[in-house]
Amino acid sequence: MSGLIALLDDVVALTRIAAASVDDVAGMAAKAGTKAAGVVIDDAAVTPKYVTGLDPKRELPIIWKIARASFFNKLLILLPVAMVLQAFAPIVLIFLLMLGGLYLCFEGAEKVWHVLAPHKDNHVNKEEVKDPAHLEETRVRGAIKTDFILSAEIMTITLNEITSNFPDASIWLQGMALAVVAVLVTVVVYGAVALIVKADDTGLWMAANGRTGLTRSLGTGLVKAMPYFLILLSFVGTLAMLWVGGSILVNELHYLGVDWPYAPIKAAAAGFTGFVAWAITAGLDGIFGLIIGLALIPMVTKILKPLFGGKKAAAH
């Protein structure tokens, strides 16, 4: 009996430890996940284009294919690689983080540049859906590649936030928190994408089959509102990318001993507190990210794309 009681005490103690660990993981995941918001929003804004022009019945299966690959990439490839680098070569993560910051700044600045200097895309309108299966396969491959890049950035940003805010946490807790963020982000992104791509179909159905005038009006309003919603989502995603990308570069340069533009930005927000201080810092980080991104555009389009893309990229 005494042995059984001792065993129960041990079980209770282990349960308490496990519960505390779950709380720690949840807290770490919640705090770390917020910094990846910019990439998450952009991921949700980018993905719907991959089902445009395809059979509506194939939209959800396509999204599931991309989501399944995203789970695999995050949990079975990126998470182990990130934890190994964190344990044995943390300096590499800093440069990977900065490389991801440059990527975000470039992507955000390129969207701004396309608005300021619009140009026709000669490839999009020429795509002919002669073989829907082949087109779907091509779209899915493209989406998975894009998701892999964004997922790598999400995982790197998240791990950096976890290690910065919880330096004393064990590598197992850090890994569990990173896994929680990976799962939640993927569920949120592709759940949102599924709702977005089916919203217009839902609106059309409500407009045609609604039993009341209110229902039909709501359906019509939903169909009309979706293009504006997607524009707003893209706009917010662009701002978030510039903010996150600029913030990464500013903070990592400071970590490496370069105090500009970290010091001027902190000085500008020094006299304020709360949301105002955050808004000033985020705004200046975003401006810095935009400047860096605009500077990268000619380098990427004139040098890197032709260099790595061959004749086709050069012609484009």
Residues in the chain with pLDDT < 70? 1-54, 119-131, 309-316
Query: Looking at residue 139, what is its pLDDT?
Result: 80
Res 267: pLDDT = 94
pLDDT reported for residue 83: 92
Stated pTM of the model: 0.72
Contacts of 279-285 with C-beta under 8 Å, sequence gap 24+, read 281/247, 282/243, 282/247, 283/243, 284/246, 285/242, 285/243, 285/246, 285/247, 285/250
What are the tens digits of pLDDT across the range 214-244?
Answer: 988 999 998 888 888 878 877 887 888 888 8
For residue 58, which of 127, 136, 162 has the smallest C-alpha distance?
136
Q: Which amino acid is at 275?
A: F
* Cα–Cα distances in angstroms (integers) from residue 181 to residues 24, 71, 292, in the given order: 13, 11, 28
Helices 262-269 and 213-255: crossing angle in degrees, nearest 10, is: 120
**In this predicted structure, what is the pLDDT of residue 11?**
46
Helix (H, G, I), strand (E, B) or coil at 290: helix
Single-letter code of the amino acid located at 254 = H
Residue 104: the pLDDT is: 84
Q: What pLDDT score does 125 carry?
A: 43
* DSSP output for 263-277: HHHHHHHTT--HHHH
| pLDDT score at 3 | 52
